Amino acid sequence: MYSQIIRFRLAVSTVCGSMPKQTTLKAAALLVLAILPLTSCTSPTSSPSKDTAKLSLEELEVSDYFARDSGVDLKDRVYFVSVLKELHERPLNEVGRNGVAYRFIALPSFYKPLCVTAYFPDDGETLITGKQIIFEPRASKSDPSRRQILKAPKIQLSDEKAAAFKKAFKQVNFFWLDQYDQYTRPPLFEFDFNGRHFSSPTGDWCIKDGTLWVVEGWDHGAYRVLQRQILSDDEPVRQLANSLLAECKFLPENTGGIY
């Protein structure tokens, strides 16, 4: 939070220094309004106390999946929730206070989304579940219709494999990883004032084509969500994502992952 305050002061001096004195106060006020939503703490957040287990998918709200302080932009939250509902996925916090869970959501540019989730309850079976929308084969070459099918494997892990996955997640220190990469990080501030556009950082950012990854983590009430435009080779959670995809047999043949 201290570093955010320093950046805020620098932003105020940058914007206000370029304006006449009579507009300085108005610019500073607008800047405060623009920056407040972005100054939430970056440490793991607590889950909402609302009990959603008895609600249907249609009754679940965006905030039931991603809280306002989750670090996800409102438009993205709405989009991510629409994808999760299409995959018949429920809020990750429904695993309860006595468990750990991680969900990897893959949003490819040209294909249907998919997700894989690992559940590590304090007592009970360790499970990996997957959800992927596929098209059933055509009845014949002349048949234009192809019905969508939800593929939903559910794998119970052996104690040995469950222990290996738990160790791997612990080693990446998931709950203290950066929430964003350079392609998903929101600007510190961005607004128009007096005919000019102000933002920090400035400049055009290249948006990579490929798969947007949204990775959620839940650990006994603590919650964190990461966003990555592409899971690069040096990304700590990349190998975990590929391992879970392999368990569900979601990895494309002859490749090392989804890109």
Model pLDDT for residues 185-208, shown as the tens digit of each residue: 887 666 677 787 666 655 445 555
Same domain as 103, residue 15: no
Same domain as 112, residue 28: no
Position 32 in a domain: yes
pLDDT of residue 14: 46
- Residue 41 backbone dihedrals phi, psi, to 5 degrees: -65, 140
pLDDT of residue 144: 73
pLDDT surpassing 80 at residue 113:
yes
Whether the CB-CB separation of 208 and 235 falls below 8 Å is answered with no
Tokens, residue 194 = 């007096």
The amino acid present at 220, given as its one-letter code, is H
Question: Percent of the chain at pLDDT above 90?
Answer: 49
pLDDT, tens only, 24-65: 444 444 444 444 444 334 556 655 557 899 999 999 999 999
Position 45 in a domain: no
Position 240 in a domain: yes
Position 89 in a domain: no
Same domain as 216, residue 137: yes
Position 104 in a domain: yes
CATH of the domain at 100: 3.30.1560
pLDDT of residue 124: 86
Whether the CB-CB separation of 238 and 249 falls below 8 Å is answered with no
Whether the CB-CB separation of 225 and 213 falls below 8 Å is answered with no
- pTM (predicted TM-score): 0.75
Between CA 94 and CA 206 the distance in angstroms is: 37
Question: Percent of the chain at pLDDT above 70?
Answer: 71
Q: 29 lies in which domain range?
A: 1-39
Position 80 in a domain: no
3-state secondary structure of 43: coil
Position 180 in a domain: yes
**Could you tell me how far CA 42 lies from the centroid of its own chain?**
14
Mean pLDDT score, 84-94? 96
64/111: higher pLDDT: 64
Same domain as 240, residue 146: yes
191/232: higher pLDDT: 232
Cα separations (Å) of 150 from 83, 133, 134, 182? 13, 5, 6, 33
Could you tell me where the beta strands, DSSP code E, fall in 75-229?
99-107, 114-121, 127-135, 148-151, 154-156, 189-193, 196-200, 212-219, 222-228
- How many domains are there within the chain? 2
Same domain as 208, residue 120: yes
The 8-class DSSP code of residue 36 comes to G
Position 205 in a domain: yes
